Amino acid sequence: MIRLIPTWIVVLVLLSGCAHNTQQTLFDKLGGHDGLTNIVNELIKEIGKDKQIFHYFRDARVSRFREHLIDHFCAITDGPCQYTGDNMTDIHTGMKITEKDFNRLVDLLVNAMEQENIPHPVQNELLAILAPLRRYIIYI
């Protein structure tokens, strides 16, 4: 084990070197307003094709959903937006979203970000902000 530790430290140090190269907000890294719009459009396309979770969105107005989701992503990524939609609990109450279906949406969001060539670490930054919201969304 002792001889493994130095290797591991080298890996960590190399990685942490990558961390200090920017003052950009996450909003900027996601491509600003245009970037978010593309991601959300791609996500809506993914949802439209998805048999597992499309039914949650069947009665939603797409234009309103798009606008609010872009605003929400913009606000939580330190972009110049104010989210004016309903809170997470109000939106999802009565939908009884399961853990499995929530993770399906995460998969689709990852696909959408992949389509838009968002780098893996930037994807993770957005997911890290969204993950704590799950408790206001599932099984209610």
Partner 1 sequence: MNRKIHNFCLCILILFSSQLYAADGKLISTPGVTQVEGSAGGGLVPWAQLAGYASRDEYAANVFCSQGKVDDFRLRSCGAQLNLFDRVELSLAQQWFQVDVLDTEIKQRIFGVKARLYGDLVYSQWPMLSLGMQYKDLQDTAVSKSLNADDTSGADWYLAASKLHLGAIAGYNWFWNITARYTDANELGLLGFGGPGENKSLQWEASTAIFFSREWAVGVEYRQKPDNLDLNEDDWADVFVAWNPNKSVSVTAAWLDLGSIAGSSDQDGLYISFTGYF
Q: What share of the chain is helix, strand, coil (3-state, %, to 5)?
A: 70, 0, 30
The size of the chain, in residues, is 140
- Residue 99 as a binder of partner 1 (CB under 8 A): the answer is yes
Which listed range, 34-42, 58-66, 83-91, 97-105, lies at the site for partner 1 (CB under 8 A)?
A: 97-105
Dihedral sign, Cα of residue 57, residue 85, residue 121, residue 30: positive
Least spacing, CB of residue 104 vs partner 1, in Å: 8
Stretch that binds partner 1, among 43-51, 57-65, 87-95, 104-112 (CB under 8 A): 104-112
Residue 116 near residue 36, CB atoms below 8 Å:
no
By CB under 8 A, residue 10 contacts partner 1: no
Kindly indicate which of the ranges 17-25, 55-63, 72-80, 85-93 contains the residues binding partner 1, using the contact rule CB under 8 A: 17-25
- C-alpha neighbours within 13 Å on the C-beta side of residue 37: 5
Looking up tokens 């791609």 gives: 42
Footprint of partner 1 (CB under 8 A): 1, 3-4, 7-8, 11-12, 15-19, 98-100, 103, 106-107, 110, 119-122, 124-125, 127-128, 131-132, 134-135
